[in-house]
Every structure is written in structure tokens, then in C-alpha cells.
Structure 1
Amino acid sequence: MGNRVKPLDEVEHKRLVLEEFITGEAVELEVNIGVIKQGQVLAQNTSTGKWEVYDKAATSDGLNVPRRICKGEEELDTDATTDNLVAVVLREGRVDRDLIVGLDYKTDYTGTRELERHRIYLEEVLDNETN
């Protein structure tokens, strides 16, 4: 039993979702958009209804509006298949901002504001040394 307990300084804090306000949902991903990782910020393509990687520089199809965050623990390679892939995403909640992929909260204020408008809040999580 004693070997199951780790000292506090060895505990890893790598939990993406800190709190979920509404249960996550499964969304259909567009194919050939690359590898979707845990924490990837997603936007919904308004012409197809499928979800793609958020692109701050996009000018059409809603891809410049971040709306969900992929919370699945395994990477999804959309280039390796022609089948419809489904990802589990966070609809509303709090996440560790340092584990987000595809949005720089330090410079992308519009993207951060859009996530907050959709009730996804990027939180600072202190590591063990600063507690």
C-alpha cells in the first residue's frame, strides 16, 4: 500500500479540464486537418458543420471563432483516414491554460474572449514548486 502514495513534489498536475459545467459532447471532425491533440482548440466550419482546428487568421467559414476544446486523451490523426472521426470536446468549463494547443492566451485576446463567451475559461494552475 505504501508504494501507491507519492510525495507531493512528485505528483504531476497535467489535468486539462479543471471543472466541467456541462457534460462534453462528441463532434464530427473534418478529414485531412492534421493531428488533433488533447487541448486542441476547435472551431466549427459554418459551411459543412464539421469541426476543424481553430485558425486565428482565417477569414471565412467560422474557423476564426474558437468554440470548443478537445478533451480526449489520445491523438486523432485526421490525415490517416477517410472515415468520419469523432472527438469528445469540452462545451463549458475551466481548463489549464498551459495545456491548450492552438491558441496563445498571451497574445490572442480575441480568441480568449470568444472562448469565454462560450463559457470556457482558461485558468492558471500553479505547479508544485510555487504552492
Structure 2
Amino acid sequence: MSRPNAQSMKPATAAKKLDVYLPATPAEFQQNPITRAELATLQENPPQWLKDLRKNGPHPKNLVAAKLGISIAGLARGGVVDALTTEQINQLLEEKPDWLVAERESYQNVLREERRLKSLRAEQARES
């Protein structure tokens, strides 16, 4: 890839921006700083390894949680500590273990409460 400079980022930062799990990326990607131009190229014209990672995983925790409809903390409470593949995520969605059902319900309650509070604050702002 390239030499470190003010316009480059660590591989971990680039992986986060690409929504991929860093340890699953090729060694060359993991070991070299990535420039903004290289990142833009990866986003606009992803190589096969990036397409495969995005499709099959393993996926980072934030994407696993989003695909399961729960929070990252809910993953931890459910005992999920490692990155999961798309197949593993789909299997969990099919099996619907008790912890996942409970976490999804809890997460939806949190989101409802956040929406309610946002609406209440907006209403209060209009009144003042």
C-alpha cells in the first residue's frame, strides 16, 4: 500500500470505514497504512476479497448486532464474543435462542423510548 503520512490511516481505521473485520482482511491490508485515495478506490471499486468479506464475513460486532437487531452490549450478554459469519448470523435468526429474543425485545424498547424522548424534546422546543 503506502508510506505513513498525514493523509494515511491505520489499517484498523480503514477496516472500520469499510465495515469489515480487520483480522479477516489480507495481510498486506493489515500491515500497511492506507491513504485516503486508496480507501476511496476500495470503496468505489472493491476487490474480490472485500466483496467476499462484506457478503460472507466474518463481520465486525457492530454489523453482527445490527443484523441481529440488538445492541453490541446485547451480543456480549448473549455470549457472542467473536466475529460471526453471515451463515452463523442467519442460523441464530432461524433458531431464535431465548437470549436473542429477549435482547431484540429489549433493544426495541430502548429505541421506542429514544424516539419518545426525542419527540418530547422537539415538542418542548417548539413551545418555548
TM-score (norm 1): 0.26
More strand by share: 1
Normalized per residue, which structure has more helix?
A: 2
- What TM-score, normalized to structure 2? 0.26
